């Protein structure tokens, strides 16, 4: 995953189609990241569509995103808080891939 700074890389103005929110003391974040990466990879989602926000480094990004817990992830317009299961992540990714034509386009941007 890449850092979300500098600004927007997607047509909707976000830094990525999939944003992963993490923090320095988050014990569940590595596991959540692994589940997210493995699920996305199994669906063929490019790693270029991912970005990571360290809420300890920039709390303003967390506030702007209505973040309630870490780990959290935003997949297109759906936010998953805490440690979601693979099925929830898969559902959000598939919905974005089917319902949001920009998701595919944005996931291959460099």
Per-residue pLDDT tens digits for 30-40: 999 999 999 98
Q: Maximum Cα–Cα distance for the chain, whole Å?
A: 36
User: Mean pLDDT in the chain?
Assistant: 77
pTM greater than the 0.85 cutoff: no
Distance separating the N- and C-terminal Cα atoms of the chain: 13
What tokens does 39 get? 């699920």
CA dihedral 47, 7, 9, 94 (to 10 degrees): 60
Q: Per residue in 3-25, pLDDT tens? A: 444 445 555 555 567 889 888 89
Q: Domain 2-107, CATH 3.40.1410.10 — does that match?
A: no
| Cα distances (angstroms) measured from residue 95 to each of 27, 43, 58, 60, 98 | 28, 12, 29, 28, 5
């Amino acid at each position: 995953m890449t850092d979300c700074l500098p600004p927007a890389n997607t047509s909707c103005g976000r830094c990525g189609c999939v944003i992963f929110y993490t923090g320095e003391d988050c014990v569940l974040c590595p596991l959540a990241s692994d589940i997210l990466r493995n699920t996305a990879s199994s669906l063929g989602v490019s790693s270029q569509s991912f970005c990571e926000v360290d809420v300890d480094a920039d709390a303003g990004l967390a506030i702007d995103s209505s973040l309630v817990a870490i780990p959290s992830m935003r997949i297109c317009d759906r936010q998953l808080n805490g440690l979601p299961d693979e099925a929830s992540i898969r559902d959000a990714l598939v919905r974005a891939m089917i319902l949001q034509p920009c998701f595919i386009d944005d996931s291959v941007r460099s």
